[in-house]
Amino acid sequence: MVDTSRRAAAADGRVPGRWRTVDIVVASVIAVAFGLVFAVWNNYLYSVVSAPLSGSPAQPLLAFVWLVPGVVGGLVVRRPGAALYTEFVAATVSLFFGSVWGLSVLMSGVWQGLGAELVLAALLYRRWGVVAGALAGVGAGFAMGVYESVVLSYALGAGARTVYVASSMATGVLAGVLAWWLVRALARTGVLAPFAAGRAQQREV
């Protein structure tokens, strides 16, 4: 009876237990790919794109790129820890290419991944649609906003800090929806066939 339940859970994309090798490999590939995206975004694009909001507590509105990998990893692998692992590894990879924020990038990865992870855990790792993706993005954005407004932008007043966190959560919605769309696009190519995310997409086609 237990084995049957576990097989059914695996087929439905629920959480049967330990990570498989393919889970680790795919989560790592996603993380490395986003780590390279981070490297380009951090070192060449973010300062240009965010220039109009530089110094404003609304600047996190343009930070959605940093919140995407954790949600993607969570939606694809569908195992406890996937969002945290993917986000942290992506942040670590980006650090090898240099960053004006130094080692704080690692803590940003931890908090952003943890925010998405806690939302997916609150959903009992059973909701993987666009709403779940958006909520996970909001969780990642909230964690990013709180961490950065307290540790990196500690001079902000209470009002500006509130705007900072709210802007981080708003950009998290965009990141979550973008992550959900990206997972669907990947599933359509067939590369996610070993995962419930890929099988669900194939049933819809």
pLDDT for 186-198, tens place per residue? 999 888 888 888 7
Please report whether residue 86 resides in a domain: yes
CA distance 161 to 189: 42
Q: Hey, how many other C-beta atoms are within 10 angstroms of the C-beta on 182?
A: 18
Please report whether residue 9 resides in a domain: no
User: Alpha carbon of 67 to those of 76, 108, 114, 142: distances in Å?
Assistant: 15, 10, 11, 10
Please report whether residue 131 resides in a domain: yes
Please report whether residue 7 resides in a domain: no
User: Alpha carbon of 177 to those of 31, 106, 156: distances in Å?
Assistant: 18, 24, 29
Contact at 8 Å (CB) between 180 and 174? no
pLDDT band at residue 17 using 50, 70 and 90 as cut-offs:
low
Does residue 7 register a pLDDT over 80? no
Tokens, residue 27: 């989560």
Contact at 8 Å (CB) between 116 and 75? no
- Domain range for 80 is 22-46+58-198
Please report whether residue 108 resides in a domain: yes
What's the pTM?
0.87
As a whole-number percent, the residues of the chain with pLDDT over 90 amount to 68
Q: How many domains does the chain have?
A: 1
CA distance 154 to 104: 14
pLDDT digits (tens, 9 = 90+) for 147-169: 999 887 777 788 999 999 999 99
pLDDT at 1: 39
Please report whether residue 3 resides in a domain: no
pLDDT at 199: 78
Task: Scan for tokens 């992506």, then name that residue.
Answer: 90
Buried/exposed 103-123: b ≥16 CB within 10 Å, e otherwise = ebbbbbbbbbbbbbbbbbeee
Does residue 116 register a pLDDT over 50? yes
